[in-house]
């Protein structure tokens, strides 16, 4: 199975709060897990990525948590800001640049 399941589909968070988006996968051969942020009318922008030999990776306000045994990974956005309002996609691959994407999460951060 090549699916990546993402939840929730939409998320509303207050400014300053923590946004959490979850993804689950089935293919244990996946070896690279990036997250992308997409604003309306733009292409997806790479936010942060992790490989399965690491359980957590942090870049600024963005953190990926990775649970290999559960085949799950999540994106945490700390101190969420209205400018973070966008659609977020998780993805995975075991075949180089052939990404399998989750369905996306539309995040709205309320001021």
Partner 1 sequence: KAGVTQTPRYLIKTRGQQVTLSCSPISGHRSVSWYQQTPGQGLQFLFEYFSETQRNKGNFPGRFSGRQFSNSRSEMNVSTLELGDSALYLCASSLAAGTSYEQYFGPGTRLTVT
Which among 51, 47, 37, 33 is positioned nearest to 92, based on CA atoms?
A: 33
Nearest Cα residue to 99 out of 9, 44, 32: 32
Establish if 42 lies at the interface with partner 1 (CB under 8 A): yes
Instruction: Tell me the window of 17-25, 62-70, 71-79, 101-109 that interacts with partner 1 (CB under 8 A).
Output: 101-109
Binding partner 1 (rule: CB under 8 A), the pick from 22, 71, 100, 108 is 100
Is residue 101 a contact residue for partner 1 (CB under 8 A)?
Answer: yes
Q: What is the spatial distance between Cα 10 and Cα 93, in angstroms, rounded to a whole number? A: 24
Indicate which single residue of 12, 18, 29, 45 sits in contact with partner 1 (rule: CB under 8 A).
45
């Amino acid at each position: 199975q090549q699916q990546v399941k993402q939840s929730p589909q939409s998320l509303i968070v207050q400014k300053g709060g923590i946004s959490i988006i979850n993804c689950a996968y089935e293919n244990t051969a996946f070896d690279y897990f990036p997250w992308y942020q997409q604003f309306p009318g733009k292409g997806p922008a790479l936010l942060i990525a992790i490989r399965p030999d690491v359980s957590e990776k942090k870049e600024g306000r963005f953190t990926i948590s990775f649970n290999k045994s559960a085949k799950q990974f999540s994106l945490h956005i700390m101190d969420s800001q209205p400018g973070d309002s966008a659609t977020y996609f998780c993805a995975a691959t075991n075949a180089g640049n052939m990404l399998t994407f989750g369905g996306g999460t539309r995040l709205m951060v309320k001021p």
